[in-house]
Amino acid sequence: MSISMVALGPDDLEERAEWLTALERTVDATAFCLGNEVTNFEAQACEFLDVPFALGVSNGTDALRIGLQALGVGPGDEVIVPATSFFASASSVAHLGATPVFADVLPETLQLDPAEAKRHITERTKAMMPVHLYGQAAPMGELLALAEETGIEVIEDAAQSFDARYEGRALGSLGRCGTFSFYVTKNLAAAGDAGMIVTRDEATFERMRSLRVHGDAGGYQHEHLGWNARMDGFQGAILSIRLERLRAVHAARAKNAGRYHAAIEARGLSDIVRPLGLTDGSDHVWHQYIVRVPNRDHVMQSLRDQGIGCAVYYPSTLPSQPVFANLGHRDGDFPVAEAGCRDVLGLPIHHRLKDEDPDRVIAAIAETLA
């Protein structure tokens, strides 16, 4: 029996029926663009995350773009971005004419390294973007202290970590603003593209709300160079349903993580198959279960040959992307991130796995490495 990497769509016939009812309601109200379904989801998300302001937007990339723009990031500015993340963490900065300044990550967790972030701050640094990778926090205590000390803004890319917390506070709500993606493979997944920005600051919220719709102050008066980043009504309707089930999804993912840990220990593999460490003060919603393994590409191919889904997040660093060649980085500039790219492997951890699946995956890895 094969094991898939992701679980897409409704979980069961009951949820499927809920989706269709919500979609019918949206059609009948012709609430296609923003509208009631999105407003309701925003209110629900505010309560869930305990933040005063949330904006539903078109996707996680637009959320970053609008958040950065609301912080005043533009040409000539620098933004500190971790060397390991999804492309959009850096491209959103570059699209605004600013420069992503990459900083290496911590060996235990692959999260932004505060000492490396500090080393790259210049008088042009406008902001830093901690990315809460794989479902847990970057080391926010140190990063927030650094931002305070140097007077730079913090925008959190929490695309992979909706509902994860740092010292009890929701990720995304710790800096000036925080962004989420509800892409179909994320823990809280829409039925297409969607995203969100949250903030505790009312002035930032008003600016972002205007930027979401072309910077229109009303009556076609454009105060800012905004963008079209509206969320679809259909996505708001689906996300409201999914949000109700999210805590159960996260409990199932945490159980699977425990089963992986136990299987690795039980098979005496902890020196060879090494799960990433945990960030102090953070909980974990297990967007990914990442292990570091020798002969990673061979292990990955062997798992896939046996029908076990797995994937590499990420096979190369952001500074090594061809589109950033102009920044002049070389192999060896980000040794920790580069080492991660060579040996990380993401294993299936979604909430529809069977109880025995994690052990089967670890058994298959053990056999391959034997």
Ligand X SMILES: *Cc1c(COP(=O)(O)O)cnc(C)c1O
By CB under 6 A, tell whether 317 contacts ligand X.
no
By CB under 6 A, tell whether 81 contacts ligand X.
no
**Shortest CB 69 distance to ligand X, Å:** 16
By CB under 6 A, tell whether 89 contacts ligand X.
yes
For 82, the 3-state DSSP assignment is strand
Q: Which residue from 172, 195, 226, 319 is in contact with ligand X, where contact means CB under 6 A?
A: 195
**Shortest CB 177 distance to ligand X, Å:** 14
By CB under 6 A, tell whether 18 contacts ligand X.
no
Question: Looking at beta carbons only, is 157 or 357 nearer to ligand X?
Answer: 157
Find, among 265, 303, 289, the residue nearest to 350 by Cα: 289
**Shortest CB 89 distance to ligand X, Å:** 5
Find, among 171, 107, 106, 175, the residue nearest to 146 by Cα: 175
Residue 351 CB contacts under 8 Å (≥ 6 apart), including other chains: 7, 11, 248, 249, 252, 253, 256
**Shortest CB 87 distance to ligand X, Å:** 8
Site for ligand X in 57-76 (CB under 6 A): 59-61
By CB under 6 A, tell whether 160 contacts ligand X.
yes
Q: Quick one: DSSP state of residue 33?
A: B
Q: Which residue from 84, 85, 210, 317 is in contact with ligand X, where contact means CB under 6 A?
A: 85
Site for ligand X in 117-156 (CB under 6 A): 131
**Shortest CB 168 distance to ligand X, Å:** 23
Q: Which residue from 45, 140, 155, 159 is in contact with ligand X, where contact means CB under 6 A?
A: 159
**Shortest CB 281 distance to ligand X, Å:** 20
Q: Count the site residues for ligand X by CB under 6 A.
A: 15
By CB under 6 A, tell whether 83 contacts ligand X.
no
Q: 240 near 44, Cβ under 8 Å? A: yes
Q: Which residue has the tokens 């660093």?
A: 317
* Other beta carbons within 10 Å of 202: 10
**Shortest CB 62 distance to ligand X, Å:** 7
Helices (DSSP H) in the chain: which residue ranges?
13-28, 35-49, 60-70, 88-95, 114-119, 140-150, 202-212, 233-266, 296-305, 335-343, 357-369
By CB under 6 A, tell whether 236 contacts ligand X.
no
Taking the CA atoms of 31, 36, 41 and 42 in sequence, report the sign of the dihedral they define: positive
> Cα 356 vs. chain centroid, distance in angstroms?
28
By CB under 6 A, tell whether 181 contacts ligand X.
yes
> Cα 123 vs. chain centroid, distance in angstroms?
28
* Other beta carbons within 10 Å of 267: 15
Q: Which residue from 49, 88, 147, 197 is in contact with ligand X, where contact means CB under 6 A?
A: 88
Give dist(CA 30, CA 218) in Å, integer.
22
Question: Looking at beta carbons only, is 186 or 207 nearer to ligand X?
Answer: 186
Question: Looking at beta carbons only, is 92 or 256 nearer to ligand X?
Answer: 92
Kindly list the residues in this chain that would bind ligand X in the complex (CB under 6 A). Answer: 59-61, 85-86, 88-89, 131, 157, 159-160, 181, 183, 193, 195
